[in-house]
Structure 1
């Protein structure tokens, strides 16, 4: 084997290693942030007095805590999507399953637009949010926008 070929192979292996290391670090960061979010949501759902501080002004704290439970589930699904564990038809299936639940639709009706705005610019988050939005709109119990 020529030295130039060996050097090229070594450079390619090194580059692949760096890409894999970067991906792994990004995934670890996603998991860490999701853990913090989950801990926060758990705290709010188990301490309604604190949840009241964050609840929208027009919403009863009991309703807010219920919607936080839905948010907690959606956040867990979002992490699975970010890690590449759910994509394509599987993502659409899971989004539909979330919107089959009345609490999922209530959550989306109240906070879906916020999540869409939050996802703007992040292609993975936009895909995940679009799947949830599409499942929400497609559900027969969903009121058409503006009605």
Structure 2
């Protein structure tokens, strides 16, 4: 092997090592931030005045509290997907189960656009797409039920 090839191989392996280290660091940071987010939401739920202050217009206090509780579940699923604990098939299954809950549908109805605006990469976009599709499917099912009931 020529010395130039050996140097290139060594440099390439170092670049791969740096990339893997950075990916691991980002995953650890994501998990740490999720813990902080969960704690923050839990504290918010214990403070009715602060909860009322953050309630969007057009939602009752009870609806907002339900949506915030759903946010806890969605946030955890998002982190699990982001760090690789859920693949796309598992995420779709989790989305289907989550959207059976009225609170999750309520949350998605009111905050999906915000989630889409906050999306920073393809993983966020894919997560939102999976939940948007499942939400749309649930809406179609509800509309079909309404049509047959009428």
Give 1:134 shift: 0.3
How far apart are the structure 2 equivalents of 1:14 and 1:59? 53
Normalised TM-score (structure 1): 0.85
Give 1:9 shift: 3.5
Give 1:114 shift: 1.8
> In structure 2, do the counterparts of structure 1 residues 5 and 89 end up closer, same or farther at CA, with 3 Å as the change threshold?
same
Normalised TM-score (structure 2): 0.83
Q: Report what 1:136 is aligned to.
A: 135
**1:24-43 Cα distance to aligned partner (Å, 9 max, x none):** 11112212222222121111
C-alpha contact 2:63 2:106 (8 A) present in aligned 1? no
C-alpha contact 1:44 1:65 (8 A) present in aligned 2? no
- 5+ residue gaps, structure 2: 145-150
1:124 aligns with 2:123: yes
**What is the CA RMSD across the aligned residues, in angstroms?**
1.9
How far apart are the structure 1 equivalents of 2:13 and 2:134? 42
> In structure 2, do the counterparts of structure 1 residues 95 and 22 end up closer, same or farther at CA, with 3 Å as the change threshold?
same
How far apart are the structure 1 equivalents of 2:7 and 2:143? 60
C-alpha contact 1:48 1:62 (8 A) present in aligned 2? no
Give 1:2 shift: 5.3
Q: Report what 2:88 is aligned to.
A: 88
How far apart are the structure 2 equivalents of 1:18 and 1:133? 35
The number of residues matched between the two structures is 142
How far apart are the structure 1 equivalents of 2:106 and 2:126? 21
1:63 aligns with 2:70: no
How far apart are the structure 2 equivalents of 1:95 and 1:31? 20
SS of aligned partner of 1:100: coil
Q: Report what 2:100 is aligned to.
A: 100
